[in-house]
């Protein structure tokens, strides 16, 4: 018994070890997890440091690496135009939209720079630290960002492709808004943890799909970033590669079990040796266990006369017919267990 238990335990542990693949056997899942971790950590750092962060592709390796940068300003990116003319001495400018602007932003108004001291969302005006001179309505107003890499992230953290032992890249990354692929995507996280998405033309309201592809097996996985900060990761689309499938959830039903383990039916009743019956078949004969055939406990059909011995009592008699199938035990006697 102990040996059987040991064998079963070893079999279970072997299955766990086989399914627990190291990173070099699951490069796609490893890259997906690393990418999600960077986004979550960046969002946390933005809120705890009251800074603005952005995540973009690394221009030196756009298919394999990203970069995380920060600024002290409270906004991500904003572009607008003057709603009305600004006089040479005006410190307050009226914009068509102040969404995305924040106190502390360094602004450029038609080529002239100034700091934003306050932002009024009620009437879409910004108060500057100094006049920017006379500017006509329609003049472009934009933020100036001096992004700096955040040294808290190591190069290995930002490389979505972890090199294999052969030294060749397995995973490639591509950004998509809808069905349009682009390398000019940007995830911007302000000091409140709110996420804005941008492409080369400005803010985007669609979700950003970061598609990871295993170039060896053609398997794909996604990390999806939604405006506001929600994030999701798709299940890995298994291809024809060597990746093991997940454990199936189907199991044979009781009727399909080779051991016949069916549903919870009632247990078969065991028929005990009956006491002497009251009918013609058992007044002077010992009770029998119906279903066991001839023998000391069997019933021999055909010898039903009173006081006649069964085939078992005659040394010269031929073997009797097989006993009847077990019934409810009432004919051979009234005792049941």
Please, is 79 exposed, middle or buried when counting C-beta atoms within 10 Å of its C-beta (0-12, 13-18, 19+)?
Answer: middle
Q: Express as a percent the part of the chain with pLDDT over 90.
A: 35
Write out the DSSP string of 42-87: HHHHHHHTT-EEEEEE-TTSTTTBEEEEEESSS-S--EEEBSS-B-
pLDDT in tens, 290-306: 444 444 444 444 444 44
Residue 68 and residue 40 in contact, taking contact as beta carbons nearer than 8 Å: no
Element of type H or E holding 94: strand 92-94
Q: What is the pLDDT of residue 116?
A: 93
Domain ranges in the chain are 26-70+149-233, 79-144, 270-337
Q: What is the pLDDT of residue 327?
A: 45
- Strand-pairing partners, residue 221, are 212
Q: What is the pLDDT of residue 142?
A: 86
Task: Report whether pLDDT(61) > 70.
Answer: yes
Sorted by sequence, the CB contacts under 8 Å of residue 126 that are 6+ apart come out as 92, 93, 95, 98, 101, 107, 116, 118, 119, 120, 141
- Tell me which fold the domain 26-70+149-233 belongs to: minor pseudopilin epsh fold (3.55.40)
Element of type H or E holding 221: strand 220-225
Q: What is the pLDDT of residue 267?
A: 45
Q: How confident is the model at residue 26 (pLDDT cuts 50, 70, 90)?
A: confident
Q: How confident is the model at residue 197 (pLDDT cuts 50, 70, 90)?
A: very high
pLDDT, average across residues 87-104: 89
Q: What is the pLDDT of residue 294?
A: 46
What is d(CA 236, CA 209) in angstroms, rounded to the nearest whole number? 14
Element of type H or E holding 27: helix 27-48
pLDDT, average across residues 226-230: 93
Same fold: 26-70+149-233 with 79-144: no
Q: How confident is the model at residue 233 (pLDDT cuts 50, 70, 90)?
A: confident
**Closest Cα partner for 53 from 61, 63, 45?**
45
More confident residue, 45 or 274: 45
pLDDT in tens, 140-169: 998 887 788 999 999 888 998 765 444 566
pLDDT in tens, 255-285: 333 344 344 444 444 444 444 444 444 444 4
Q: Express as a percent the part of the chain with pLDDT over 70.
A: 60
What is d(CA 69, CA 52) in angstroms, rounded to the nearest whole number? 8
Write out the DSSP string of 124-149: TEEEESS----B-TT-EEEEE---EE
Q: What is the pLDDT of residue 103?
A: 85
Tokens representing 118?
């306050």
pTM: 0.54
Assign domain 79-144 one CATH number from 3.90.950.20, 3.40.50.880, 3.40.309.10, 2.40.30.20: 2.40.30.20
Q: What is the pLDDT of residue 272?
A: 43
DSSP state for residue 256 in the 8-state scheme? G
Residue 293 and residue 323 in contact, taking contact as beta carbons nearer than 8 Å: yes
Residue 77 and residue 53 in contact, taking contact as beta carbons nearer than 8 Å: no
């Amino acid at each position: 018994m102990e040996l059987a238990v040991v064998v079963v335990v070893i079999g279970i542990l072997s299955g766990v070890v086989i399914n627990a693949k190291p990173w070099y056997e699951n490069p796609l899942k490893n890259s997906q997890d690393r990418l999600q971790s960077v986004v979550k950590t960046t969002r946390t750092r933005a809120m705890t440091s009251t800074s603005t962060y952005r995540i973009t592709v690394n221009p030196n390796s756009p298919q394999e690496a990203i970069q995380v940068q920060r600024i002290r300003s409270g906004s991500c990116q904003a572009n607008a135009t003057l709603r009305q003319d600004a006089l040479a001495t005006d410190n307050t400018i009226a914009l068509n939209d102040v969404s995305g602007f924040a106190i502390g932003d360094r602004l450029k108004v038609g080529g002239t720079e100034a700091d934003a001291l306050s932002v009024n969302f009620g009437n879409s005006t910004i108060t500057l630290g100094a006049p920017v001179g006379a500017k006509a309505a329609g003049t472009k107003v934009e933020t100036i960002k001096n992004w700096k890499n955040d040294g808290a992230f190591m190069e290995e953290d930002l490389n979505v492709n972890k090199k294999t032992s052969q030294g060749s890249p397995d995973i490639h990354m591509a950004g998509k808004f809808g069905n349009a692929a682009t390398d000019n995507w940007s995830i911007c996280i302000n000091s409140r943890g709110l996420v804005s998405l941008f492409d080369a033309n400005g803010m985007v309201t669609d979700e950003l799909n970061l598609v990871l592809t295993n170039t060896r097996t053609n398997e794909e996985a996604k990390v999806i970033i939604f405006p506001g900060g929600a994030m999701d990761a798709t299940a890995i689309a298994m291809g024809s590669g060597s990746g093991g499938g997940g454990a199936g959830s189907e199991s044979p039903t009781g009727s399909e079990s080779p051991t016949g383990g069916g549903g919870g039916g009632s247990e078969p009743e065991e028929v005990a040796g009956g006491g002497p019956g009251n009918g013609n078949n058992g007044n002077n004969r010992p009770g029998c266990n119906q279903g066991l055939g001839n023998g000391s406990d069997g019933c021999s059909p055909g010898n039903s006369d009173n006081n006649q011995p069964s085939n078992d009592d005659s040394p010269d008699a031929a073997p009797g017919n097989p006993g009847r199938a077990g019934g409810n035990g009432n004919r051979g006697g009234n005792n049941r267990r």
